[in-house]
Structure 1
Amino acid sequence: MSDSHFTAPTQFIEVDGVNYAYRRWGRKNSIPLVFIIHYRGGMDHWDPVMTDGLAEGREVILIDGRGVASSSGTPRNRAEDMADDIASVVRALGIPKVDVVGFSIGGFQAQELALRHPVLVRKVILLGTGPRGGDPWIDPKMAEVAPKAELGVDDFLFLFFGRSEEAKQAGRAFWARRHLRQDQDLATSPEVAKAQWELYQAYMVPAGSDKPYAHLNALKQPTLVVNGIEDIMIATVNSLYLGQNIPNAQVILYPDAGHGAHFQYPERFLKHAIQFLDD
């Protein structure tokens, strides 16, 4: 593996008049794993332990969505449209089938990608996310912190990590790792924040049905759901709703952890993800 999280070049591909930024590296001649990031995030918001660890056994592809960070275009405010964009980019790259990992709002997109483009997706990993119409509870302080123009390390610890000192230490270690790349992706714009907040609010409106998650029965791909035991961004109970309604799903909850449990326990997550993808 010649390239890595820190050295893979940022490339661009034009699809329907939009230049999408992406990076790809890892083992060729494998089913690529496409990463879809959280609210306002770009390619450098992933953990290099996670991306490089997974790239040892498969190709990984990071993508900035339409209008996000280094990609051009107007930001989307619907998960379905963002999922269709990802499918268009994957097909433009000449890739017939992918695995997908979606984190938070990226998990909404990953679900829609698997539901709307089932032939394209083999396996799904959902991190810190929930179903359409899930439990909308959030920590009241989250709505104050998450929209800040710039998040500092303390903001990130509050939003993504557990409350113990060990959890905070793991959060600071992640924060340092994710800033090691020299040519960082561009910051997202206020327009991205607005559009994605609209997406979040619309997606989490309770369905008001006696079977609110029945639509997940159509998601037939093997699915791994991972979260922390106390997610203040997208309530942890939503991970259980995913596990109960996706026919071939398994759920793992990490202790003393929140929204970014996979960042807090990167080595543990890597083992679980590799086992799931290789089975």
Structure 2
Amino acid sequence: MDHNGTYLDAKTSTVEGSNGVTYAYRRLGPQGGRPLVLLQHFRGNLDNWDPDLVDALAASRDVIAFDNSGVAATTGSTPTAIAQMADDAIVFVEALGLDRIDLLGFSIGSFVAQEVALTRPSLVAKVVLASTAPQGAPGIQGWAPDIIAAIGEPKTGPEGYLHAFFTDSPASRAAGQQVLGRLYSRTEGRDEQTSWRTRNAQYDAVLKWGTPNFGLLQRLTAIQQPVFIANGDDDRMILPWYSHLTAALIPDAFVKLYPDSAHGFLFQHARAFAADVHAFLDA
């Protein structure tokens, strides 16, 4: 069975998990292979995935995007710890009847992806970590004031998004404007906005993840799956050197940095990144 159409046309479905949470999700692309499950960024919902990226990923792959517990149209409460978010993500995957998946986690979603791989290794075949950092690494307990002002205030807007997700170069800013246009091009059946409570809970989880603890870094040596780590070369939210640190801790991992891009590199370079993801998952 195929999920035809594009991400902009994909309907939002729901499934109830064993935890009593009703999860909102969209599914796109041909079924039959191992599904690729997407884990979203800080304060993001289903409409914060770039349609160009999802369409490119779903060209030959079953792709599933979802709102985790308490986020946007999904019921329940947003946890204040990454480990619980991972447990809730596992419940969602089980509710769909899936027993083997690939994961693509972006930003806070990449933290959740690490935890899923550690908590339920038999579930996960391969992992893509976009804009990531390991738990306990120094210097990530909170973000720079300009970044949290751009994306962490009650009212956020296009300028804040451009500042946090793209560089100041004309090319990156122009790409950011195009991404914004794509993010708002869906006019019907849009997801609910994430709440202020979700913002606070997720930021609490980020702060806990970033509390320095060198002992926790060694947990990543237990990830045995192949891992592709990617970032923009000028990410001011999660610095690129954390990508290299993460890769150094995971036995089978490699890093690629995308040029003249920041936190939103995977949207700015959507086609190139999707091609790299396909090559990695198909290898």
Other-structure match for 2:63: 60
Match of 1:185 among 180, 184, 191: 191
1:235 to 230, 235, 239: 239
1:29 to 21, 28, 32: 32
Q: Displacement, 1:151? A: 2.1
* Aligned mates of 2:248, 2:223 — CA distance in 1: 12
Native 8 Å contact 1:163 1:256 kept in 2: no
Q: Deviations over 1:17-47 (max 9, x none)?
A: 1111111121110100000000110111111
Aligned-partner Cα distance in 2 for 1:125–1:208: 23
Distance 1:135 1:157 in 2: 26
Unaligned 5+ residue runs, structure 2? none
CA shift for structure 1 position 127: 0.6
Please say if 1:7 is aligned against 2:9. Answer: yes
Residue ranges of structure 1 left out of the alignment (5+ in a row) = none
Deviation string 1:211-243 (CA, Å, 9 cap, x unpaired) is x52111101111111101121111221111111
Q: Is 2:274 the partner of 1:270?
A: yes
**RMSD between superposed Cα atoms in Å:** 1.2
In 1: Cα distance, 2:42 partner to 2:15 partner: 23
Q: Which residue of 2 aligns with 1:213?
A: 217
User: In structure 2, what is the equivalent of residue 165 of structure 1?
Assistant: 170
TM normalised by structure 2 equals 0.95
Q: For 2:181 and 2:240, how far apart are their aligned partners in 1?
A: 26
Alpha-carbon distance in structure 2 between the residues aligned to 1:227 and 1:193: 23
Answer yes or no: is 1:151 the counterpart of 2:153: no
The equivalent residue for 1:139 is 144
Conserved in 1, the CA contact under 8 Å of 2:137 and 2:214? Answer: no
Q: Distance in 1 between matches of 2:239 and 2:102?
A: 25
Q: Please state if 1:245 is matched with 2:249.
A: yes
> Could you tell me how far apart the structure 1 residues matched to 2:214 and 2:109 are?
24
Residues 59-102 of structure 1 show CA distances to partners (whole Å, capped at 9, x for unaligned) of 00011011100001111111111111111111111111110100
Q: Does residue 198 in structure 1 map to residue 201 in structure 2?
A: no
Map 1:64-75 → 2, pairs under 5 A: 64-75=67-78
Q: Which moved more, 1:83-92 or 1:139-148?
A: 139-148
After TM superposition, the structure 1 stretch with the greater mean CA deviation from structure 2, 30-39 or 130-139, is 130-139
* Aligned counterpart, 1:78: 81
For 1:216, give the aligned amino acid. Answer: L
% identity of equivalent residues: 37
Tell me the equivalent position of 2:124.
Answer: 121
Where has structure 1 moved over 3 Å in runs of 4 or more?
none
Q: Indicate the residue corresponding to 2:22 in structure 1.
A: 19
Query: Which of 84, 90, 115 is 1:112 aligned to?
Result: 115
Task: Number of aligned residue pairs: give it.
Answer: 277
For 1:46, give the aligned amino acid. W
Q: Any conservation in 2 of the 1:136–1:235 contact (CA below 8 Å)?
A: no
| Whole-angstrom distance in 2 between the partners of 1:190 and 1:198 | 12
